[in-house]
Structure 1
Amino acid sequence: MTEAVIRVEELAVRFGTSPPIFRHVSFEVRRGEVFIILGGSGCGKSTLLKAMIGLIEPAHGDITLLGERLAEATGDARRALLRRLGVMWQSGALFGSMTLAENVEVPLEEHTALPAEARAAVARAKLGLVGLGDAAAKLPSEISGGMAKRAGIARAMALDPPILFLDEPSAGLDPITSAGLDKLIVDIARGTGTTFVVVTHELQSILAIGDRCIMLDKAAHGMIAEGDPRKLREESTHPTVRAFFRREAA
């Protein structure tokens, strides 16, 4: 079995004295796979992602990234660990006053000593990888939503992280653009060995790109399924899982 690059054990997140968003969440993500965190609105998908990248401190449980326990990594060691993760947020989160190339260069300026010429070369290469080589000089306001998502992925890849986290990459996209983004994710995963953790509730994308998945449920305050999404669609006997994969009313 391929090595696990992420381990989540008995994770729970709550805010203040409110009931937990989720609890008893445990799973592994293997090197080079496209792993999906799915579920309905409000189930805690994005909250789980934020916990996994160190933006939210869990109430209970452990997260291990690339062999290091996140809770034990502090100071420079924590920053070095988190630099090995790339993140793309829902809208792409590009800086509006910067060109696409300048956006991709931001992590390189922050975290490397590369000269300007080398940063520009890396930015061109990353934009070329996502099909935006001819759009490097454009501003975010001059491109489509799908292009902005691709540019966000290029920026997330700037430091060559072994793990990429994507938050709702297909949200708001038309079916053709969404399918193109799905293909890009699979091509990068297969071509570079990059591990993807993708938060989404878009069923078509889940089935197109997911090697494995977990499903969170708001009512259950946690996980209700884990496995190959195609097998879950065909074989799960859990009523909520069946309803999700078969697009049935609950």
Structure 2
Amino acid sequence: MSGAAPAIRVEGVAQSFDARVIFQDVSFEVARGEVFVVLGGSGCGKSTLFKQMIGLLRPTEGRITVAGHDTVAEVEAVRREIGVMFQSGALFGSMTLLENVMLPLTVFTDLPSAARAEIARVKLALVGLAEAANRLPAEISGGMAKRAAIARALALDPPILFLDEPSAGLDPITGAGLDRLILDLRAALGCTFVVITHELASIFAIADRCLMLDREARGMIALGVPRELKAAATHPRVRAFFNREEDPA
């Protein structure tokens, strides 16, 4: 990863809605091939930053580039470089898992139907759902739905994947399996991952580095390797988060 241009660069970014400031002066880079986690308590701006990075929300201030493309001026180019898994999975209930994964291929390519189906089967196999291709979302577990959503995010072979709360609502064993899947996909495909989460177990399992946002500070209060932040953080809310303690305030 060293020496290469970053997969993502965030420079002096802020977001406010009318007079309400969500965060300001947020700057960081995500290296190619890195698993980068954005974390923090409720209301700190994790989802807002997520929307900015995938081109759904224009920052009030600052600039974000993804794979060298500006998320405001070149939003269509950005979207060709990324795959997104939203927190709920956002699978279409009337479509089978195979049809859900085929959807980006149908919309964005001219491949024949048989080729689209074959690619979708490969993506489902990558996430351990080869045998579930013909099931509907209502017929599978929450963990399987998250895996299917990741398979759909992989459909167009994007170099960068954004995952919003992938472990939310899952039991610890299923969540650990999803963490393992993220690491396996990174190893197999060389993808860059940006993961939004507040799950401590997942953070320690998958993150190369993490960024912590804070609602009271209205910005970032930590950036680094999770275990180093746990051991040596000086900010009281960073220490409290990583050591699962009560809010010092």
After TM superposition, is the score higher than 0.5?
A: yes
Superposition pairs for residues 91-170 of structure 1, below 5 Å?
Answer: 91-170=88-167
| Stretches of structure 1 lacking an aligned partner (at least 5 in a row) | none
8 Å Cα contact 1:2/1:31 also seen in 2: no
Distance (Å, rounded) in 2 between the aligned partners of 1:2 and 1:126: 31
Distance (Å, rounded) in 1 between the aligned partners of 2:78 and 2:138: 33
| Stretches of structure 2 lacking an aligned partner (at least 5 in a row) | none
Per the alignment, residue 192 of structure 1 pairs with 189
Distance (Å, rounded) in 2 between the aligned partners of 1:81 and 1:54: 7
* Alignment-mate amino acid for residue 85 of structure 1: I
Distance (Å, rounded) in 2 between the aligned partners of 1:160 and 1:22: 32
Q: CA deviation at 1:72?
A: 2.6
Query: Which of 221, 230, 233 does residue 224 from structure 1 map onto?
Result: 221
TM-score by length of 2: 0.97
8 Å Cα contact 2:104/2:155 also seen in 1: yes
Q: CA deviation at 1:20?
A: 1.3
Which secondary structure state, in structure 2, belongs to the residue aligned with residue 90 of structure 1? coil
Per the alignment, residue 11 of structure 2 pairs with 9
TM-score by length of 1: 0.96
8 Å Cα contact 2:54/2:78 also seen in 1: no
8 Å Cα contact 1:10/1:24 also seen in 2: yes
Distance (Å, rounded) in 1 between the aligned partners of 2:165 and 2:33: 19
Q: CA deviation at 1:105?
A: 0.5
Counterpart check, 1:181 vs 2:182? no
Per the alignment, residue 65 of structure 1 pairs with 66
Which secondary structure state, in structure 2, belongs to the residue aligned with residue 109 of structure 1? helix
Which secondary structure state, in structure 2, belongs to the residue aligned with residue 14 of structure 1? strand
Counterpart check, 1:18 vs 2:19? yes
Distance (Å, rounded) in 2 between the aligned partners of 1:118 and 1:79: 24
8 Å Cα contact 2:87/2:165 also seen in 1: yes
Percent identity, aligned pairs only, is 64
The total of aligned residue pairs comes to 245
Per the alignment, residue 214 of structure 1 pairs with 211
Q: CA deviation at 1:141?
A: 0.3
Aligned residues: CA RMSD: 0.8
8 Å Cα contact 1:212/1:226 also seen in 2: yes
Q: CA deviation at 1:28?
A: 0.2
Q: CA deviation at 1:2?
A: 5.1
8 Å Cα contact 1:44/1:216 also seen in 2: yes
Which secondary structure state, in structure 1, belongs to the residue aligned with residue 205 of structure 2? helix
